[in-house]
Amino acid sequence: MINLRFNAKDDGVAESITALTLQIDSFVVSLMPDMNIRCEQPSDYSAIAQVNIQAFQQENEARLIDKIRNSERYIPELSLVAEVDEVVVGYILFSYIDLVGNQHFQVLGLAPLAVLPKFQRQGIGSALVEAGLAKAEEMGCAIAIVLGYPEFYGRFGFEPSIHYGIESPFPVPKNAFMVKPLKDYHRKYRGKVVYPLAFRGV
């Protein structure tokens, strides 16, 4: 979104700037594709694999998705596609991972998130994260964990996991391993994350 700041002493200038702002707003809106987010269906599997292969330029994430789908960690309600003109252009998956401390919990791991290169930087990735978090809240999940770009995930309230006493299982830049506490979060959710076998090799 483009923000204009100015000091206008003259109402005429203020009106033209307002008109320009409205024009810019409608231009930005017209760049946003007409997009729909829904749960994945078996008929989407190959399109989802293609979205991930093209976004990541490798097949590891597509394989990870298959392995998770075939495991008890899969959550159908949190496997979401974004479609434009009924074509799948984006995908997000949250699945159960372990948090092991004084107690053992299953929490949400966000991975992968992918948008076809041609459709990136149009708000689709953000819309998928928001839709997933909203569904996770609705399902009463306590916390979501992600390894990713801090400047991107920070927008949705993800914070470095160390703020919450949650440790990554492998060495990563501290800011890149993040958690988003949801409304059912409680301080008891502390410890070290353990990823299921499906994540090996990703």
Ligand X SMILES: CC(C)(COP(=O)(O)OP(=O)(O)OC[C@H]1O[C@@H](n2cnc3c(N)ncnc32)[C@H](O)[C@@H]1OP(=O)(O)O)[C@@H](O)C(=O)NCCC(=O)NCCS
- The footprint of ligand X (CB under 6 A) covers 55-56, 113-115, 120-126, 148-149, 151-152
Q: How many CB atoms lie within 10 A of CB 199?
A: 18
Structure tokens at 32: 């946003």
Least distance to ligand X, CB of residue 50, Å: 12
For residue 104, the cross-strand partners are: 100
The nearer residue to ligand X, 135 or 190, going by C-beta atoms, is: 135
Rounded CA separation 131/154 (Å): 16
Least distance to ligand X, CB of residue 66, Å: 17
For residue 93, the cross-strand partners are: 79
CA 15 to chain centre: 39
Least distance to ligand X, CB of residue 67, Å: 18
The nearer residue to ligand X, 164 or 177, going by C-beta atoms, is: 177
What 3-state class would DSSP assign to 4? Answer: coil
The nearer residue to ligand X, 14 or 117, going by C-beta atoms, is: 117
Torsions phi, psi of 173, nearest 5? -55, 130
The nearer residue to ligand X, 115 or 142, going by C-beta atoms, is: 115
Least distance to ligand X, CB of residue 112, Å: 6
> Which residue number has the CB closest to ligand X?
125
